[in-house]
Amino acid sequence: MSICKGLFLLGAIFISHSLFSQKLEFVDAQPIEILNSEAEELSPMVSPNGNMLFFARAFHPDNTGGDLAGMDIWVSKRDSSGTWSEPTNNLGFWNNSENNAIIGVRKDNKVVYLLNSYTSGDGISFSKKIDGKWIKPELLPLKWMKRHNFNGFYMSPDFDVLLISANRSNSVGEEDLYVSLKDSLGRWQEPTSLGATINTEGFEISPYLSADKKSLFFASNGHGGYGDADIFVSQRLYDNWTVWSKPVNLGEKINSTGFDAYFCISTDSIAYFSSNKEGGMADLYSTKLKGLKIGDSEKYAQKLIEEARQILKELRGEKNHREYFIEFYPESDAFIDASKIKLNDLVKFLNYQAYNELILLSVAFEPEDLGIHDKRIDNLREYLKISGISENKIKVETLGNMRRGVGEKLFEDKDGIVIIVSY
């Protein structure tokens, strides 16, 4: 088998990974009657063990401060038969007259993360469970966040990824999705936009991340769909927070002509979300994923990717290799800012690591794009040369002009250049 065929094989495996999101099928969603009321139920958040469901309720007379105050946090517990208990908002320090909501639960179920409705500081809040009791929320300061400028959050159970829905100065729409990650010193970094594949001129809200941090669920009115807001899923590619597959609508079993948002999913493949599909206030609904569980399908996809990479190593006689996906602005030969960061990382790597060669794998979709891709290759070659990379170690392959083949699907609506470094 040739090297080129090996590269095609790797591309085909990545297609399989990106298409997992399209194969997510759900049973018809049903309202969770015991949790719904004449008020509005929003923002469900299931605990990592699947036994507690937190949600926010607005306009309810039993809320702290009454029906015209802010939202309260309510919670329901699931028994061994799978039945949810009557919800309660008797949660002590968590509820006040402002808007209260859970934005994440730590994987040991002993810490919850909340909107900061408790101090005048900039950041989010958290509450710990000590001796079986939840203590008063504390502030997690975020210096880049102004208290009233951010609309929604999701904190991962590992406490290392914070997704944000906000209208910032660089937003392209009403609200965009951003990510903040912790650096090596444990400091939360300035939010980075998830990019043009996710964010639109409409709004993107209620982000939720799968346990392996590869699948992003969110609601939007900017990607088309059935109604006011639909729920979508997108796959994170190349372990990069700005490179995503084209969002896929979760379909009519979940989405409606109304407002559908705030998706979350438990380890038993039961999903929860809010919708006003019946008219009036939003209620909580549940559905179940058919076939493979989310975690199972992603593990299977990752296994396929690793097998393909191993085949590449054997074909080329390589000990190791690294991959970088370099994205460009649409219809342009200029790198996006995130790609410049990756190129700097690549150059630093090459400066201390002995390597065999660089393969520039160009992905082009249409014949008229080939001129742009030639310019992109030239720009990339020049950048590497100026950075001290030997030109005789740079080789070019292409998946270009493959309207019905690998090139069309490899990166969905993104094209660019994959740099494969063998060493």
- The predicted pLDDT at position 355 comes to 75
What are the Cα distances from residue 156, in Å, to 13, 133, 175, 181, 400? Answer: 27, 22, 20, 11, 38
Whether residues 277 and 327 share a domain: the answer is no
Q: What share of the chain is helix, strand, coil (3-state, %, to 5)?
A: 20, 35, 45
Domain tally, the chain: 2
The Cα 153–Cα 350 span in angstroms is 37
Whether residues 223 and 323 share a domain: the answer is no
121 falls within a domain? yes
Q: Please say which residue of 290, 310, 344 terminates a domain.
A: 290
∠ at Cα 378 (376, 383), nearest 5°?
Answer: 95
Whether residues 322 and 286 share a domain: the answer is no
Q: Residue 279 burial (CB < 10 Å; 0-12/13-18/19+)?
A: exposed
298 falls within a domain? no
Question: In this predicted model, what pLDDT tens digit does every residue of 249-266 receive, in sequence order?
Answer: 999 999 999 999 999 999
3-state secondary structure of 70: coil
20 falls within a domain? no
For 140, half-sphere exposure in the C-beta direction (CA atoms, 13 angstrom radius) is 18
251 falls within a domain? yes
Whether residues 275 and 407 share a domain: the answer is no
The Cα 18–Cα 52 span in angstroms is 31
Q: Please say which residue of 271, 290, 309 terminates a domain.
A: 290
* Centroid of chain to Cα 100: 23
Whether residues 238 and 323 share a domain: the answer is no
CA quadruple 138, 75, 133, 71: dihedral, nearest 10: 30
107 falls within a domain? yes
Q: Do 323 and 418 form a contact (C-beta atoms < 8 A)?
A: yes
The CATH number given to whatever domain includes residue 400 is 3.30.1330.60
Comparing 297 with 417, the larger pLDDT belongs to 417
The Cα 339–Cα 356 span in angstroms is 23
Q: Do 222 and 200 form a contact (C-beta atoms < 8 A)?
A: yes
- The predicted pLDDT at position 369 comes to 52
The CATH number given to whatever domain includes residue 266 is 2.115.10.20
Is 50 exceeded by the pLDDT of residue 367?
Answer: no
Instruction: Using only the alpha carbons of the chain, give its radius of gyration.
Output: 23
Q: Please say which residue of 273, 290, 307 terminates a domain.
A: 290
Whether residues 227 and 189 share a domain: the answer is yes
What are the Cα distances from residue 372, in Å, to 267, 333, 364, 400, 403? Answer: 45, 6, 9, 11, 17
> Model pTM?
0.68
Whether residues 237 and 338 share a domain: the answer is no
Whether residues 238 and 148 share a domain: the answer is yes
pLDDT more than 70, % of the chain:
80
Q: Do 200 and 223 form a contact (C-beta atoms < 8 A)?
A: yes
Question: In this predicted model, what pLDDT tens digit does every residue of 76-101 receive, in sequence order?
Answer: 999 988 899 999 999 999 999 999 99
15 falls within a domain? no
358 falls within a domain? yes
- The predicted pLDDT at position 405 comes to 35
Structural domain harbouring 113 = 26-290
Confidence of residue 404 (pLDDT cuts 50, 70, 90): very low
The Cα 103–Cα 127 span in angstroms is 12
Question: In this predicted model, what pLDDT tens digit does every residue of 129-171 receive, in sequence order?
Answer: 999 899 999 999 998 887 656 579 999 999 999 999 998 888 8
Whether residues 152 and 42 share a domain: the answer is yes
Q: Which position has the token pair 């250049």?
A: 417
* DSSP secondary structure of 300-347: HHHHHHHHHHHHHHHHHT-S-EEEEEEEB-TT-SSBPHHHHHHHHHHH
Whether residues 58 and 147 share a domain: the answer is yes
Question: In this predicted model, what pLDDT tens digit does every residue of 15-64 receive, in sequence order?
Answer: 333 334 346 889 999 999 999 999 999 999 999 989 999 999 999 999 99
Whether residues 174 and 275 share a domain: the answer is yes
Q: Do 138 and 96 form a contact (C-beta atoms < 8 A)?
A: no
Is 60 exceeded by the pLDDT of residue 349?
Answer: yes
14 falls within a domain? no
Confidence of residue 1 (pLDDT cuts 50, 70, 90): very low
Whether residues 415 and 360 share a domain: the answer is yes
Judging by DSSP bridges, how do beta strands 394-398 and 357-363 pair with one another? parallel
Residue 193 β-bridge partners: 178
- Could you tell me which residues come within 8 angstroms of residue 400 by beta carbon, excluding any fewer than 6 positions away? 362, 363, 364, 365, 369, 370, 373, 407
- The predicted pLDDT at position 155 comes to 97
